[in-house]
Amino acid sequence: MARPKKYTIFLSDDEVQILHSKIKSKKSSKNLRNRCQILLALDEAHGKHLTLAQCAKSIGVCKATVSNTIKDYVDAGFDQAITYNRNANSDNARRKLVRRAEAKIIQIACGPVLEGHARWTVRLLAL
């Protein structure tokens, strides 16, 4: 016997159009597109009725991503569900160098090695 659904999604026509435009936009990240596809796939007002596992398999994400997206939609609303907030501990937040300095180090490391050395080391790059 299946467990009853804890959360249900009912999208309006305007929300469906917003989701389709976010999916088609080239500026949208993959995570945002996945969230939009999850909401469209589980919409009970317009679409077919999929389980969480079927939705996760068809979009190519894990079941936790599907359940977290649904929970965000129900608890915080439509706008919060399609807003992708970057974590403060992400790779971009923890960068030690600005992009120009990083590019300069890569340029040096890809160039010829100093005389008397076989390869670039961190100490040589620090000079």
- pLDDT, one tens digit per residue, over 2-60 is 566 677 788 888 998 999 999 998 888 888 899 999 998 888 877 677 888 888 999 99
Q: Residue 106 contacts by C-beta under 8 Å, 6 or more apart in sequence?
A: none
CA 16 to CA 22: how far, in whole Å?
A: 10
DSSP-based three-state secondary structure for 87:
coil
What structural domains and CATH numbers belong to the chain? 13-81 (1.10.10), 98-127 (no CATH)
Measure CA of the first residue to CA of the last residue in the chain; give whole Å.
Answer: 68
> Which one-letter amino acid corresponds to residue 96?
K
**Do residues 23 and 33 make contact, with C-beta atoms less than 8 angstroms apart?**
yes
CA 99 to CA 11: how far, in whole Å?
A: 41
pTM of the model: 0.64
- pLDDT, one tens digit per residue, over 64-115 is 999 888 888 888 888 888 887 766 666 666 667 778 888 888 898 999 998 9
